[in-house]
Structure 1
Amino acid sequence: MTPSASLAQAILGPRDRTQPTRDRIETLSQEIASGRAADTGRALSSDFSQVSRLAHGLREGRASIESLSQAQTWGAAIQASLARVADVSARQMADLPVNLANPDPAAISRLSRGGEEGVRDIVAALGHTVGGRALFANGGTEPPITTVDDILTEVSALATAATDFDDYIQRVDAYFAPGGTFETAHLSVPATDPTRFPAGGGEVVTFEVEAGSDELVQALRSAATLSGLGGASFALTPDARLTLQERAANAAADLPTLQGRIGATEARVGDRLETLRAEEQQAEVDLSTAVGVDPFETVSALQNEMTRLETLYAITARRAQLRLTDYLR
């Protein structure tokens, strides 16, 4: 014989009607403690589109911030290399007046050694890398110039073959001209676009500089011209001395223009980073607000649930007096 439901209820006691309320209190307590909605669906009224947009925007913004942070590192490294090239030009500007005042063999030898050191320093500066990528080779894995000894040997041969200073200068200019020996035999810059750094919103940042840039070739040509003087058989006339000083001065004067262009790109990167970081903070606030809790509403709801629970306990206690199990314990 199956006992009736009323008899089973009398023996086992009334069904626990407090469980949903206790679950609700637990949820509200978590929300108060964390400041986040334990039930995101309830907090969003089951509309997750806003959260999806915010989360997607955060991911894209953070990726752009990472990209532009790398661009900052890239730009700073380029500026450091350009500063080293500028130091070479500054040394030449200081050495030329002293040694050309009395261009005897010892002075010419000092100029030649200084020019060779300058060529090596410039080539080394243009070979710098960041993360295994060459700064002045459009992000290639190989440095743009690896044949510095050959360059010095060939320029020295130009000086030896020249009949006078003007002939030497023409040979050097042809050597470093577009399509000349330096570009075709010694400049190994990949024929690709400069390294690109996504900046968000469809924007891209690039640093428009490579080892073949006019300013850098001019600085290298000026140093190489001095390096070849050690093997020359011609004398340096007053016009020749003036030409050497003018070419060195022009090379030194053009480098700040290139540094300024890189600096303008760096400033653009900094401004964009500042904007992206502000947008990231705002998106985080908006996302937190979307899935967060209103403390006043949550506390009010928690108090209501606690009152409800107390009422249910009071009812349960009154009904428990009629339960057979209370007397059998």
Structure 2
Amino acid sequence: MAVNTVGDLAMSYIFRSRNAQLKADMVRFSTELSTGQVASVSEAVNANFGPVSAMEHSLSQLEAYRQSISESAGLAGAMQSSLETIRQSALALSTDLLTSGSTSSAVHLDALGASAAQAFHAAVSQLNTSYGGRALFSGAATDRAALADSHAILSALEVAVATETTASGVKAAVDAWFDPGGGFDTIAYTGSPTPLAPMQAGANRAVDLDVTAADTAIRDTLKGLALSALMSSPPLSEAPSEQAVMAKTAGDLLLQANTDLLQTQARIGVAEETLEDAKTSNSSEIAALELGLAELLSVDVYESATKLEQAESSLELLYALTARSARLNLADYL
């Protein structure tokens, strides 16, 4: 039986090594051909990873800003929608209250009070809205609703005015309840006194979405709705003339609060505009960096295709040589 010589073993090792190298080259050139990017970043940058690392770090930061901008824009939009719904409802009610006049019947004024109660419940519901699992108007306490149950709030107000007999007395009691440190702060508002922290929209850009249900414009709107709702509850429900006075008082308050609420919405609108500008700027920076990174790591597709063909030809030649070597060895053995 023939015994392999050292030369035979060496040749076998050379064939195997060359075969593995050519297959790796084919995978590499195929990948470069399909992606248009280098398979080996180290070779492309001559082992100088500084520029690539800097670009990738910047892209990572910009992606974080993109997510923050998207979330902030969603929060701002949801806040605008809730406040606009409340404002429109309160404006319509103020018109009805101010046009009711002193000649309105007790039945009509009771009906207005009932409508106001529904508007109050709806307003509290809007202020307790959340977006993406975060309460909109609770300040830093985004994990809980901004306000207590609306029925519980109206019940507390009914207790607060129970001893009053006139519209002015009820108004004074409700004013005290809604004043800082009063029942609104201790019973109604369940959010945080600390506003929501500024939302990062860029390296040197942040927006404030710090509106809470305790803000003056919102507080006054709720007060106006509550005063209107109390028209259909004792003691005012038993005195139509006092109901009519309260209708005028509540209507005036809601009309003024409506203007203030528009200013609050304008603040949010400024934040939305800032976010839109940041979004455009951020997208431009991402596109520029991605283009720069792609150019840095791009390959000549024609060159890769040529190298792939050469590797394929070399591998075919290697197979032919291997087969021929095997036949020669067999002839020697025979």
TM-score (norm 2): 0.80
Aligned equivalent of 2:276 = 270
CA distance in 2, matches of 1:13, 1:80: 76
2:206 equivalent in structure 1: 204
Work out the CA distance in 1 between the residues paired with 2:4 and 2:189.
98
Q: Which residue of 2 aligns with 1:155?
A: 157
| Pair 1:220 & 2:226 matched | no
Change (3 A) 1:149 1:59: same
Q: Deviations over 1:57-94 (max 9, x none)?
A: 22222122122211122112111211221132123123
Q: How does 1:156-175 map to 2 (within 5 A)?
A: 156-175=158-177
Q: Distance in 2 between matches of 1:201 and 1:326?
A: 73
What CA distance in whole angstroms lies between the structure 1 residues aligned with 2:306 and 2:274? 50
Q: Percent identity?
A: 21
How far apart are residue 209 of structure 1 and its match? 0.4
Amino acid at match of 1:75: A
Where 1:257 maps in the other structure, the secondary structure is helix
Q: CA deviation at 1:155?
A: 3.0
Is 1:156–1:227's contact at 8 Å kept on the other side of the alignment? no
Structure 2 alignment gaps of length 5 or more: none
- For 1:88, give the aligned amino acid: S
Aligned partner of 1:146 in structure 2 is: 148
SS in 1 for 2:266: helix
Match of 1:254 in 2: 260
For 2:13 and 2:161, the matched residues in 1 are separated by: 110
Q: Give the drift of 1:227.
A: 1.4
1:215 and 1:255 in contact (8 A); partners too? yes
How do residues 47-126 of structure 1 correspond to structure 2 at under 5 angstroms? 47-126=48-127
Partner of 2:128: 127
Contact in 2 for aligned 1:31/1:298 (Cα 8 Å) = yes
Distance change in 2, residues 1:249/1:298 (3 Å): same
Conserved in 1, the CA contact under 8 Å of 2:195 and 2:212?
no
Checking the alignment, whether the CA contact within 8 Å between 1:156 and 1:229 is kept in structure 2 is no
- Alpha-carbon separation, structure 2, partners of 1:263 and 1:96: 30
Range moving further from structure 2, 24-33 or 139-148: 24-33
Aligned 1:264-303 pairs, distance under 5 A:
264-295=270-301, 298=304
Number of aligned positions between the proteins:
320
Tell whether the 8 Å contact from 2:86 to 2:126 is kept in structure 1 after alignment. Answer: yes
Render the CA deviation track for 1:101-146: whole Å, top value 9, x for unaligned.
Answer: 5233112212221221122111111111123321111243221221
Q: Does 1:193 align with 2:195?
A: yes
Residues 227-258 of structure 1, C-alpha deviation per residue, up to 9 Å, x if partnerless?
A: 11232255249876543332121122222211
TM-score, normalised to structure 1, is: 0.81
Moved more, 201-210 or 236-245: 236-245
1:143-193 superposed Cα distances (whole Å, 9 cap, x missing partner): 122142233234334554334333332222111111222122221222333
Cα 1:210–1:325 shift into 2, 3 Å:
same
Q: Distance in 2 between matches of 1:14 and 1:194?
A: 69
Instruction: Indicate how the Cα distance of structure 1 residues 67 and 229 shifts in structure 2: closer, same or farther if over 3 A, else same.
Output: same
Secondary structure in 2 matching 1:109: helix
| CA displacement at 1:99 relative to structure 2 | 2.6
Alignment equivalent of 1:178, drawn from 156, 177, 180: 180
